[in-house]
């Protein structure tokens, strides 16, 4: 800590930080542009100038850039100094020279940092009398809109896109006041983090192109604190509603997870909520016709289906809330509560849970701070996209240690980068195919899942011979020999069949082990991406070996969906067992909760299952193949329309809240309650609010006891008031429904949360889990997050939202022993593995037009040697057969795929329900 | 290729070999070439540094920092390789001296780079040549190749067991890239924008390694100092301003050209004697003494007889800068001259920071309107304000370089600005453009 004096008053600040960071943390309103809490300082805009005095006697002082000046002990500065004030005003004047002043037609208007800073500096009169420069705008794809004339040339975009996110197809061109920020030519931005430009740009150059189609000003939207449902990481989001429509998603700061950034799947996947395919009313199918039915009738019909059934089968969902899944489980009983997922996937999820319970788990913030990383089997960029952005920062940790020695403060971004140059910390990527993180990897290894697992086992055994079940004997020499033998026992000597590129397996394992062991905060990343138990076990073993070596090692595991772990924790059983029950019993009723079974299991099995059931009830958001077979369909609320809890990949329970209040649509747990009450199960009528369900859940599952603490209960009040979902400038409330009824309706009541559907309520900062949107006096843009944090870029006041369900264990867990055998390619057959696409592999986002546009066409991929051997060429129509179904698609040549391996893009319709990995022939069809 | 000029007051050190065919390495050897570096090989690094320090050699790139002192900042131990960078980006309007060295005596630069390398323990040097000097690149390339061929560069130079490599690099046409840190960015293949200091190049420079960057003339002076000694060199100039330097005389003069004169030489004599005085019996209006980036001196200030060294010029309210002396006679329009000057800075502003990027643009637009008769009174104060808003407040000194001349023009020639007001035609309009604005000539 250091004491600095701001306009004569002493303050305690972090001495490692710069003056801007310090002043903002202290709550001062000091304007800035080029500095960004996650990007550091570069001194380009000169907006943050303050007067610095050498001593109390120094009356003259000199202007310094606060963001470029360390908050050193005894620093004396003045924000209010007239020269500083005048200079800052002059800077804005300079920026506004060429800015088009088109706020009324600009999407940024009302949440524009440039507007805020202009007001803050007091620049209110335009003296510049000359023509403005103009630029041509570019088409940048379905997500990001470009309007270059508004640019104030703060360089944030290019720094984020290239330096932070590693994108290559975006840059700054030209010099002087003609610097142009865009692509070398029109085209879709390649980075899956491009959407962050919307928030990174302090003005309206980059705005949300999807929002443009149904634009609403920030101040006119109703927000709710929410959680992204498009992968298992649980990034925090802030959905905005008006006129019953979901307008957009923006980032909701979470200091341990997403920080300031989201991936584009999370930001733009929301449009499925507004889809034409939405089920908006209960439907009944009779005589092959699907017809809407009134709510009460549907509930009663559902009740009859339940009451008359011999057995009720409930299929839960890894994309439904804990509460809805729990309600289903309570209704159908533990024995008849299933997941749509296969035995294999559930086993992997339980293995994941076991590992999470017995291993220190990394949050995304920890991933970012790790200084040596081994990735086993995971295509992070496509499977858990936001994690890739954190991982990209991790390679900066070791260079930081080097620049620390040169006394370059870490926030002095360009100086750090100039000193570090190409130097990167260790990141080893062992994956089945190439990844978009390979460019920052120290080393990459491509192999079959079993080979990847073997590499992990070898690393663990190199780190600790006990990982191979060995005990230290007397002479250390003989121990060393044992280690070598142990490692060889897993690796085999020489090149593995899939071929490590430059060195053999053994030395690679040694190099990885050395890098991890030499690090201060080593990390292993794995997950369900390559659907391999051995890979998960190998990852855990490496962490355990590091722990036994005294290292504070951590693990991060990626899971398929937003509530995969929650579902597994509720003890859902695999689909295969559901199928068996359906076959064995006649007169069953099956309830499918937010689950399109055809995407989970082989089509023929699903057909059998659905046919075996006597009655089918589906609850879902959109029409799909499963709902099409149901007799009764209930419109289930999406994340934007409901409250609930999700458990993310770290085992963190987080609550999301309702932003939209649609008429006929309600949370699945409410539908289930109503149906079961109608079926005579009166006890469920006790569930009036979300908190009632949570209370039952907590008493039923001690494991999940902390779920209640994920957010304050609905009874929570701030000084007796609720928390407004609407900004205080929300307009038109009295008029918006006047065409229907001139008297303003009462805003809906919200029994489930302490948030109100109103702009009225307590204006103070709510608890972190209940912040619907970022706004603070004078700060209308996202930069207002500054005002909600304990320290800039640190945790939100009162702690980041959510609760971790697993506590870090006191000591390292036991090793897994069963290293897999070497992968043996087969003659004439391929091991078909899943390949993931950030746009295309996730069920809900793919229903949004922009994501759909960027999704791949179906393909079957193999490497070129293979294709040549089999006499195949790119674009040949080929076929593979798995689980009794055959799949036809064009052949794609992927030189990065290992020998014996083929890949298909999972998630695209053609491959729905395919169970991978699996062996198959691949043959040309005419 | 430029004509050589001469004057009896000249003291030829750096220009000693001009016109002697020293581009040819054998001829260079005959003219004492590569002796200095061989001497340096017998010396301790600190000895070399002290010698250069004591010679009073100050950077010829503009800032006038003591060269030996700069070298002494390079850490002895470094995990990363160290580098010597020769700044041959010479782009300051009014400055045209480095190109003569490249043209006539390229090996002196190579030798200077090598000696600097021996002094700080670097094994690699880069010679960065301004983009528009493409024709000089061939000379530099050949000189480097010849030095390699003779075994002067590469492994085991002069059988010393030491290694030294030199690479050349051509600029892409930006003035800003002459600024030392932007030059390093450029050399690394990045955009030519400046870096923040600290860390200074001596600690974190090219490719992140400790780096000495010196002007071409500075480096070309070093071999002479090694052979002639510190005392000899120091005594050539004025106190704390050792040696001689190449002054580039241009503008309204009878005998413009590059002359090598002792540091501290009288500016008045430089104009009236060395430069042959002002043509057509015109009167002196002012002199820009150190390249376009410095404050203009009025005729009165010149006639007060200022010495051309770093300290005296600073005292006189201007700077010695890059040695470009631009003379304006009384037909020159200061408003037009200001416009011409600011046009350059506006064009060359790298676009990184706001006061320079927007300030130069606004200044240029104001001056265009002003000079064409559309000026209003508040423009004058606004120009002054815009320049003050840059001075000392931009990211790099290019902003200062644009601000200082403007401030001086407005301060010292306010009347001339006022004479343009109220739609009055430019009082100097009858004179040709070249006369009005000599830098353009
Ligand atoms: C905008 C700008 C342009 C510059 N251009 C040059 C140049 O063309 N050549 C040069 O030697 N120094 C130039 N300099 C000065 C260099 O930054 C640096 O001070 C110099 O190369 C150091 O060498 P010296 O100590 O030998 O003078 C420039 C500085 C600025 C701010
Ligand atoms: S586009 Fe936006 S972020 Fe990029 S430089 Fe311009 S104003 Fe800054
Ligand atoms: S003063 Fe600023 S804009 Fe101008 S050249 Fe330097 S860094 Fe670039
Ligand atoms: S925020 Fe400090 S210079 Fe831009």
Query: If pLDDT is split at 50, 70 and 90, which confidence band does A502 have?
Result: very low
In which element (H, E) is residue B358 found?
A: helix B354-369
Q: Which CATH superfamily is domain A349-466+500-559 in?
A: Dimethylsulfoxide Reductase, domain 2 (3.40.228.10)
Q: Helix-strand-coil percent breakdown of chain B, rounded to 5? A: 45, 15, 40
CB contact under 8 Å between B349 and A179, yes or no, is no
Which residues in chain B have Cβ-Cβ distances shorter than 8 Å to A46? Answer: 353-355, 393-395
CA dihedral A747, A751, A753, A757 (to 10 degrees): 0
- For ligand 4, the distance from its centroid to the CA atom of residue A67, given in whole angstroms, is 6
For residue A87 and ligand 4, the question of a CB distance below 6 A is answered with no
- pLDDT of the residue at A498: 46
What chain B residue is nearest to A127 in terms of C-alpha separation?
B382
Q: Which top CATH class is A2-97?
A: alpha beta
Output the DSSP codes for A540-590.
Answer: HHHHHHHHHTT---EEEEE-SSTTHHHHHHTTPBPHHHHHHHHHH-SSEEE
The residue among A360, A423, A415 whose CA lies nearest residue A395 is: A423
Q: Helix-strand-coil percent breakdown of chain A, rounded to 5? A: 35, 20, 45
In the block, which residue shows the tokens 């040709």? Answer: B432
For residue A154 and ligand 2, the question of a CB distance below 6 A is answered with yes
Classified as helix, coil or strand, A796 is strand
Q: What is the Cα–Cα distance from A755 to A753, expressed in whole angstroms?
A: 5
Q: What is the Cα–Cα distance from B313 to B321, expressed in whole angstroms?
A: 9
Ligand 3: residue of B195, B342, B350, B386 to mutate (most ligand atoms within 8 A of CB) is B350
* DSSP code at position A50: E
How many CB atoms within 10 Å of residue A794? 14
Closest Cα in chain A, distance from residue B351 (Å): 4
Q: What is the Cα–Cα distance from A196 to A263, expressed in whole angstroms?
A: 8
> A579, A850 in Cβ contact below 8 A?
no
Q: What is the Cα–Cα distance from A431 to A445, expressed in whole angstroms?
A: 6
Q: Which residues pair with B117 in a beta bridge?
A: none
CB contact under 8 Å between B354 and A91, yes or no, is yes
pLDDT at A478 over 80: no
For residue A117 and ligand 4, the question of a CB distance below 6 A is answered with no
- pLDDT of the residue at B222: 98
> A168, A392 in Cβ contact below 8 A?
no
Q: What is the Cα–Cα distance from B112 to A247, expressed in whole angstroms?
A: 66
> Which of the listed CATH numbers 2.40.110.10, 3.30.43.10, 2.40.50.140, 2.40.40.20 matches domain A830-924?
2.40.40.20
Which residues in chain A have Cβ-Cβ distances shorter than 8 Å to B199? Answer: 406-408, 415, 418-419
Is B285 near chain A, with CB under 8 Å? no
pLDDT tens for A606-620 read: 999 999 999 999 999
For residue B95 and ligand 1, the question of a CB distance below 6 A is answered with no
Considering only CB atoms, which residues of chain A are within 8 Å of chain B? Answer: 42-47, 49, 62-63, 68, 87, 90-91, 94-95, 97-98, 127-128, 130, 152-153, 155, 172, 174-179, 406-408, 412, 414-415, 418-421, 423
- pLDDT of the residue at A809: 86
Which residue from A62, A176, A420 is facing B347, i.e. has the nearest CB? A176
- pLDDT of the residue at B435: 59
Which residues in chain A have Cβ-Cβ distances shorter than 8 Å to B393? Answer: 46, 49, 63, 87
Is B357 near chain A, with CB under 8 Å? yes
Closest Cα in chain B, distance from residue A418 (Å): 6
Residues 6+ apart with CB under 8 A from B46: none
ipTM of the complex: 0.95
Q: Which residues pair with A646 in a beta bridge?
A: A654
> Which of the listed CATH numbers 3.40.50.740, 3.20.20.300, 3.40.50.300, 3.30.70.1890 matches domain A294-341+572-681+693-709?
3.40.50.740
Q: What is the Cα–Cα distance from B137 to B127, expressed in whole angstroms?
A: 10
The encoded tokens of residue A710 equal: 């994920």
Classified as helix, coil or strand, B218 is helix
Closest Cα in chain A, distance from residue B193 (Å): 9
Residues 6+ apart with CB under 8 A from B260: B10, B11, B12, B13, B14, B15, B244, B245, B246, B247
Angle between the N-to-C axes of helices B134-149 and B106-120, in degrees from 0 to 180, rounded to the nearest 10: 60
Q: What is the Cα–Cα distance from A378 to A369, expressed in whole angstroms?
A: 19
- pLDDT of the residue at A474: 43
Angle (CA) B217-B221-B223 rounded to 5° is 135
Q: What is the Cα–Cα distance from A754 to A713, expressed in whole angstroms?
A: 7
Bridging pattern class, strands A206-208 and A144-146: antiparallel
The residue among B289, B227, B295 whose CA lies nearest residue B17 is: B227
pLDDT tens for A196-212 read: 999 999 999 999 999 99
- For ligand 3, the distance from its centroid to the CA atom of residue B363, given in whole angstroms, is 15
CB contact under 8 Å between B361 and A97, yes or no, is yes
Pocket of ligand 3 (CB under 6 A): B 176, 194, 349-353, 356-357, 394-396, 398-399
pLDDT tens for A344-377 read: 999 999 999 999 999 999 999 999 999 999 999 9
- For ligand 3, the distance from its centroid to the CA atom of residue B349, given in whole angstroms, is 5
Q: Which residues pair with B218 in a beta bridge?
A: none
Closest Cα in chain A, distance from residue B39 (Å): 34
Classified as helix, coil or strand, A700 is helix
> B360, B349 in Cβ contact below 8 A?
yes
In which element (H, E) is residue A526 found?
A: strand A522-527
Closest Cα in chain B, distance from residue A157 (Å): 13
Classified as helix, coil or strand, A923 is strand
In the block, which residue shows the tokens 């772990």? Answer: A565
- pLDDT of the residue at A777: 94
- pLDDT of the residue at B266: 97
- pLDDT of the residue at B168: 98
pLDDT at A476 over 70: no
pLDDT at A479 over 80: no
Q: What is the Cα–Cα distance from A505 to A102, expressed in whole angstroms?
A: 60
pLDDT at A472 over 50: no
> A92, A32 in Cβ contact below 8 A?
no
Domain ranges of chain A: 2-97, 294-341+572-681+693-709, 349-466+500-559, 830-924
- pLDDT of the residue at A489: 56
Tens-level pLDDT at each residue, chain B (441 residues): 567 999 999 999 999 999 999 999 999 999 999 999 999 999 999 999 999 999 999 999 999 999 999 999 999 999 999 999 999 999 999 999 999 999 999 999 999 999 999 999 999 999 999 999 999 999 999 999 999 999 999 999 999 999 999 999 999 999 999 999 999 999 999 999 999 999 999 999 999 999 999 999 999 999 999 999 999 999 999 999 999 999 999 999 999 999 999 999 999 999 999 999 999 999 999 999 999 999 999 999 999 999 999 999 999 999 999 999 999 999 999 999 999 999 999 999 999 999 999 999 999 999 999 999 999 999 999 999 999 999 999 999 999 999 999 999 999 999 999 999 988 889 998 876 655 566 543
CA separation (Å) from A33 to A66, A398, A781, B170?
12, 28, 12, 34
CB contact under 8 Å between B358 and A418, yes or no, is no
Ligand 1: residue of B83, B178, B246, B403 to mutate (most ligand atoms within 8 A of CB) is B178
Mark which residues 204-233 of B lie under 8 Å from A by CB: 204, 207-208
Q: Would you put residue A668 in left (φ > 0), alpha (ψ -120 to 50) or beta? A: alpha
Closest ligand to the CA of A95:
2
Bridging pattern class, strands A644-647 and A632-635: unpaired
């Amino acid at each position: 800590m250091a004491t600095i004096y701001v306009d004569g008053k002493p303050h305690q600040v972090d001495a490692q930080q710069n003056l801007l960071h310090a002043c903002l943390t202290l709550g001062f309103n000091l304007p800035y542009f080029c500095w960004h809490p996650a990007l550091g300082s570069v001194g380009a805009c000169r907006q943050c100038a303050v007067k610095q005095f050498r001593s109390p006697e120094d009356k003259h002082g000199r202007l310094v850039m606060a963001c470029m000046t360390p908050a050193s002990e005894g620093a004396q500065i003045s924000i209010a100094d007239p020269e500083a004030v005048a200079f800052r005003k002059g800077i804005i004047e300079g920026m506004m020279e060429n800015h088009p002043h088109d706020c009324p037609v600009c999407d940024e208007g009302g949440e524009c940092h440039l507007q805020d800073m202009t007001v803050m500096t007091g620049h209110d009169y335009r003296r510049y009398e000359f023509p403005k420069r103009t630029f041509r705008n570019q088409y940048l794809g379905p997500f990001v809109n470009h309007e270059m004339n508004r640019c104030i040339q703060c360089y944030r975009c290019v720094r984020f896109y290239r330096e932070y996110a590693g994108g290559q197809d975006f840059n700054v061109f030209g010099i002087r006041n003609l610097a142009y920020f865009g692509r070398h030519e029109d085209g879709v931005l390649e980075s899956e983090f491009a959407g962050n430009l919307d928030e990174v740009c302090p003005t309206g150059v980059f705005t949300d192109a999807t929002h443009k189609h149904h634009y609403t000003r920030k101040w006119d939207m109703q927000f709710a604190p929410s959680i992204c449902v498009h992968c298992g990481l649980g990034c925090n989001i802030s959905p905005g509603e008006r006129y019953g429509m979901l307008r957009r998603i923006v980032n909701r700061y979470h200091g341990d997870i997403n920080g300031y950034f989201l991936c584009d799947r999370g930001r733009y996947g929301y449009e499925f909520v507004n889809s034409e395919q939405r089920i908006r009313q209960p439907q009944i199918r009779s005589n092959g016709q699907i017809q809407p039915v009134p709510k009460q009738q549907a509930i009663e019909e559902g009740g009859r289906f339940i009451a008359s059934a011999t057995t009720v089968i409930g299929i839960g969902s890894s994309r439904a809330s804990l509460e809805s899944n729990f309600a289903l489980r309570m209704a159908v009983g533990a024995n008849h509560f299933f997941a749509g997922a296969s035995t294999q996937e559930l086993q992997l999820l339980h293995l994941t849970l076991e590992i999470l319970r017995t291993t220190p788990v990394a949050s995304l913030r920890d991933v970012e701070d790790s200084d040596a990383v081994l990735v086993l089997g995971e295509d992070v960029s496509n499977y858990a996209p936001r994690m890739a952005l954190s991982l990209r920062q991790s390679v900066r940790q070791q260079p930081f240690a080097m620049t620390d020695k040169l006394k370059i403060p870490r926030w002095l971004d360009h100086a750090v980068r100039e000193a570090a140059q190409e130097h990167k910390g260790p990141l080893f990527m062992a994956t089945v195919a190439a990844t978009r993180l390979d460019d920052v990897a120290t080393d990459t290894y491509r192999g079959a899942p079993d080979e990847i697992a073997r590499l992990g086992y070898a690393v663990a055994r190199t780190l600790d011979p006990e990982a191979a079940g060995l005990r230290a004997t007397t002479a250390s020499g003989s121990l060393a020999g044992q280690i070598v033998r142990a490692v060889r026992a897993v690796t085999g000597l020489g090149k593995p069949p899939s071929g490590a590129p430059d060195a053999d397996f053994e030395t690679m394992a040694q190099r990885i082990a050395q890098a991890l062991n030499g690090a201060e905060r080593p990390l292993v990343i794995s997950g369900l991406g390559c659907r391999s138990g051995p890979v998960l076990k190998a990852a855990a073993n490496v962490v355990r070996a590091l722990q036994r070596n005294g290292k504070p090692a951590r693990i991060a595991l990626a899971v398929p969906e937003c509530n995969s772990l929650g579902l597994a924790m509720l003890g859902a059983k695999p689909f295969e067992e559901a199928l068996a029950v359906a076959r064995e019993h006649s007169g069953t009723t099956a309830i499918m909760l937010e689950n399109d079974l055809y995407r989970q299991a082989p089509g023929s099995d699903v057909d059998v299952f659905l046919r075996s059931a006597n009655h089918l009830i589906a609850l879902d958001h959109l029409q799909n193949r499963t709902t099409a077979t149901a007799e009764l369909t209930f419109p289930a609320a999406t994340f934007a329309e409901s409250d609930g809890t999700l458990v993310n990949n770290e085992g963190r329970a987080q609550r999301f809240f309702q932003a939209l209040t649609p008429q006929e649509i309600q949370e699945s747990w409410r539908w289930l309650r109503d149906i079961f009450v109608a079926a005579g199960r009166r006890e469920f009528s006790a569930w009036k609010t979300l908190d009632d369900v949570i209370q039952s859940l907590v008493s039923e599952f001690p494991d999940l006891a902390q779920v209640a603490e994920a957010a304050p209960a609905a009874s929570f009040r701030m000084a007796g008031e609720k928390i407004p979902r609407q900004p205080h400038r929300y307009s038109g409330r009295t008029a918006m429904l006047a065409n229907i009824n001139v008297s303003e309706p009462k805003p809906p009541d919200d029994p489930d949360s302490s948030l109100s559907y109103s702009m009225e309520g307590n204006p103070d900062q709510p608890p972190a889990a209940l912040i619907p949107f970022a706004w603070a006096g004078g700060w209308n843009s996202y930069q207002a997050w500054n005002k909600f944090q304990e320290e800039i870029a640190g945790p939100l006041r009162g702690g980041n939202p959510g609760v971790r369900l697993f506590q870090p264990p006191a000591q390292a867990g036991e090793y897994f022993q069963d290293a897999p055998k070497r992968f043996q390619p087969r003659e004439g057959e391929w091991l078909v593995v899943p390949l993931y696409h950030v746009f295309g592999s996730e069920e809900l986002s793919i229903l949004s037009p922009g994501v759909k546009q960027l999704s791949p066409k179906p393909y079957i991929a193999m490497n070129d040697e293979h294709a040549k051997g089999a006499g195949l060429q790119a674009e040949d129509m080929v076929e593979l057969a798995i689980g009794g179904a055959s799949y036809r698609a064009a052949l794609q040549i992927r030189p990065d795929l290992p020998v014996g391996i083929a890949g298909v893009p999972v998630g695209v319709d053609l491959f729905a329900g395919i169970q991978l990995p699996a062996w198959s022939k691949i043959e040309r069809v005419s | 290729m430029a004509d050589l000029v001469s004057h009896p007051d000249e003291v030829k050190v750096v220009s000693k070999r001009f016109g002697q065919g020293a581009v040819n390495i054998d001829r260079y050897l005959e003219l004492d070439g590569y002796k200095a570096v061989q001497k340096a090989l017998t010396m301790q690094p600190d000895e070399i540094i002290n010698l250069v320090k004591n010679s009073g050699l100050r950077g010829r790139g503009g800032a006038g920092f003591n060269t030996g002192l700069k070298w002494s900042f390079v850490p002895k131990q470094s995990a990363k390789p160290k580098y010597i960078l020769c700044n041959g980006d010479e782009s300051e309007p009014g400055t045209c001296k480095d190109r003569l060295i490249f043209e006539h005596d390229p090996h002196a630069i190579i030798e200077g780079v090598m000696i600097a390398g021996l002094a700080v323990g670097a094994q690699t040097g880069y010679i960065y040549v301004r983009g528009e000097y493409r024709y000089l690149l061939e000379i530099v390339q050949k000189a480097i190749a010849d030095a390699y061929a003779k075994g002067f560069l590469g492994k085991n130079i002069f059988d010393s067991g030491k290694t030294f490599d030199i690479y050349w690099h051509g600029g892409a046409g930006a003035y800003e890239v002459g600024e030392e840190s932007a030059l390093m960015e450029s050399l690394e293949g990045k955009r030519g924008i400046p870096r923040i200091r600290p860390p200074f190049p001596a600690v974190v420079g090219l490719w992140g390694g400790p780096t000495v960057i010196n002007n071409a003339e500075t480096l070309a002076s070093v071999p002479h100092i090694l052979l002639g000694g510190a005392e000899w060199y120091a005594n050539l100039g004025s106190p704390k301003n050792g040696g001689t330097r190449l002054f580039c005389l241009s503008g309204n003069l009878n005998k413009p050209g590059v002359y090598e004169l002792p540091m501290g030489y009288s500016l008045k004599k430089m104009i009236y004697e060395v430069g042959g005085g002002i043509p057509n019996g015109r009167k002196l209006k002012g002199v820009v003494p150190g390249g376009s980036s410095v404050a203009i001196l009025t005729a009165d200030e010149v006639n007060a007889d200022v010495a051309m060294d770093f300290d005296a010029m600073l005292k006189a309210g201007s700077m010695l800068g890059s040695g470009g002396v631009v003379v304006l006679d009384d037909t020159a329009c200061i408003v037009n001259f200001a416009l011409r000057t600011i046009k350059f800075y506006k064009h060359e502003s790298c676009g990184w920071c706001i006061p320079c990027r927007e300030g130069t643009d606004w200044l240029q637009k104001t001056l265009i309107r002003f000079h064409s008769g559309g000026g209003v009174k508040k423009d004058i104060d606004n120009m002054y304000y815009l320049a003050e808003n840059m001075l000392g407040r931009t990211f790099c000194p290019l902003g200062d370089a644009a601000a200082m001349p403007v401030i001086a023009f407005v301060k010292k020639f306010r009347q001339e600005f006022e004479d343009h007001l109220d739609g009055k035609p430019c009082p100097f309009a009858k004179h040709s453009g070249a006369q009005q604005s000599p830098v353009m000539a």
